[in-house]
Structure 1
Amino acid sequence: MPDRRELHANGYAMLRSAIGPDTVEALRAIFDANVLPSDQWPVPRGQDWRHAQLDLAPVVQATCRLPALLAVVGELIGERFFIAQAEGREPLPGGGHQQLHRDLSARRPGDMVNALVFLDDFAAHNGATRIIPGSHRPQPDAPPEDFNDESRAVHLQGRAGDILVFDVDLVHGGSLNASGARRRSMLISYRSEQLHATHLATTALRNVRMDTTERFAPTGNALATG
C-alpha cells in the first residue's frame, strides 16, 4: 500500500498489479465490444480518442470497488464518497496529446479523485499520462501554473493491471500515441457524497447509466504511515 504522507504530498499513487491477467482480459473484451463513435455520445468526444461505454458490466463495477483502490480514494477524499462514472478511453495512433491541465475539484480541494486502470502497458511511445507531482496543492504565493511548461512533468509508465489514482487538481495530461500501440484504459471518477446532487444533474450529458447511490467511507488506517 502507498505511504499516506507521500500520497498527500504527491497527489497520486500507483497501485502496481492491482488487477490480475484474467480481469485485464475481461475488461479489454468489454472495452472493445462497447466502443461508441464520438457522435453517439450526448456531448461529442475528441476525434483522436476511442471511447467505450462500459459502466454496467459486472467486472467493471467490481474493479471500481477493489478494496485497495477504495482505500486510496477514501484517504484522498477524506469523507464519504461515491462512484460517479466509469468509461473506457484510448488514444488513436497519432492522437491523444493533451495540454497539461487540472480537472478541478468542485466545492473544496480534494473532493474528487480519478483512477486510471491500465488495460495495456503504458509508455511514453503510446501516450502514457504525464503528471507534475505535488502540483495539486500549490502554495498560496505561488505564481499561476504555466500549463505549457513541461520541465517538471514525468511520464507515469506502467503495465496492464496497474492503477493510477490521483487528485483531480493534480496537473496532468495524456501524451501523443506516436507508436500506434494500443493503450486502453478505464477512467473511474469518485466524488464526495456532498456532490451527488450536482452529479445527478449532468449524468445524461456524460452518458452515465450506472447506479451511483452506494456510499463508501474512508477506512482510516488502511495505508502505511512510514
Structure 2
Amino acid sequence: MSVKGTAMTPPGLTELALESQQIQQQGYALLRQAIPPTWLAGLRQAFDEGVRPSAQWPVPRGPDWRHALVDLDPKVQALCRLPPLLAVVGALIGEDFFLAQVEGREPLGGGGYQRLHRDLSAQRPGDTVNAIAYLDDYGPANGATRLVPASHRGPFDAARADADFEAKAMQLEGKAGDILVFDADLVHAASVNRSGARRRSLLLGYFAKSLFGAHQQSAALRGVRMDTSEWFPAQG
C-alpha cells in the first residue's frame, strides 16, 4: 500500500481519505520504493559509520544486532521527513506529532529473532507510530519483519502470542527503499537472519505532540541527540 502523491487534501470522500481509513483499520502501510534510489548509498554509509558496540550506548543493546547512531546525519533526517511517510504517520496518529527517535538496526547472521509483541503506545492507543526504512533487500532469508494486520486494538496476551497470532502473521518481503509504517500496538516481530545477508534498516519513532514532555525526560537514555522540537500536522 502506498500514498500516492505528496499533496494533502481536506477530509472527505477522496482517494486519500479512503486510503487513510484503510491504513487506520489495518494499522500499517508498506510504502514501496518511498526512498529515492539515489539516497541509498549515502544512507548505507551513514549506517555503517554510525555502528557502535553495545557498551557505547546509554542502555546496552541486544548482542545479535548491529546498532547505528545516525540521528544527526542530514540524509537520515531528510528521509524522516519524506512527505508520503509523514502522510501515513499523520493518518495513524490523527493529531500533531513529532519525530522522537531514529537509529540504525541490523540483525546479525543467525540472530534477530523476536517473539511477536507490541511496542505499546505511551499513554493511549494510537499516540505512537514506528517506521522501518529498509536500506537492503529484505525477506524470509535475512530476517524480515512479520506482522499481524489489524492487530493493534483489542486484548493481547504476550504469553499466548505465539499460539494465537503466529499463524496469522505475514512476513514482509521487498526491496531496499521500502518503508514500513505501523501503529506501535500492531503485533509484529523480526525474524532470524538465516542467510547472514545484510539487512540494514533505520527505525523511526513518531509521537503525538502531547508526549513531548515525557519524551524529553527519557531521550538521553535512548541515545537521542537530535532536535525533536519540530511539529508536523496530522495531515502530513
Q: TM-score, normalised by structure 1?
A: 0.93
Cα distance between partner residues in 2 of 1:194 and 1:42? 25
Residue 176 of structure 2 is aligned to residue 164 of structure 1: no
Q: Which residue of 2 aligns with 1:79?
A: 95
> AA paired with 2:106?
E
How many pairs align? 217
Q: Deviations along 1:46-98, whole A, 9 cap, x unmatched?
A: 00000000000111111000011001001100001000000000000000000
The 5-angstrom pairing of residues 66-215 of structure 1 reads 66-138=82-154, 144=157, 146-149=160-163, 150-215=166-231
> AA paired with 2:124?
R
Q: Which runs of 5+ in 2 are unaligned?
A: 4-18
1:51 to 67, 77, 85: 67
Q: Which residue of 1 aligns with 2:58?
A: 42
Q: Which residue of 1 aligns with 2:77?
A: 61
Q: Which runs of 5+ in 1 are unaligned?
A: none
| Greater RCO (CA < 8 Å, at least 6 residues apart) | 1
> AA paired with 1:188?
L
**Structure 1 residue 144 displacement after superposition:** 3.6
**Structure 1 residue 143 displacement after superposition:** 7.0
- SS of equivalent residue, structure 2 residue 41: helix
Cα distance between partner residues in 1 of 2:139 and 2:205? 23
Q: Runs of at least 4 residues of structure 1 off by over 3 A?
A: 142-145
Cα distance between partner residues in 1 of 2:189 and 2:147? 7
**Structure 1 residue 5 displacement after superposition:** 2.4
**Which has more helix, going by share of residues?**
2
Cα distance between partner residues in 2 of 1:73 and 1:91? 25
Q: TM-score, normalised by structure 2?
A: 0.89
> AA paired with 2:161?
F
- Please, what is the CA RMSD of the aligned residues? 1.2
Q: Deviations along 1:142-163, whole A, 9 cap, x unmatched?
A: 6746222211111011110000
Q: Which residue of 2 aligns with 1:12?
A: 28
Cα distance between partner residues in 1 of 2:83 and 2:21? 20
- SS of equivalent residue, structure 2 residue 234: coil
Identity of paired residues, percent? 58
Cα distance between partner residues in 1 of 2:98 and 2:111? 32
Q: Which residue of 2 aligns with 1:23?
A: 39
Cα distance between partner residues in 1 of 2:205 and 2:152? 17
> AA paired with 2:79?
T
Cα distance between partner residues in 2 of 1:73 and 1:204? 24
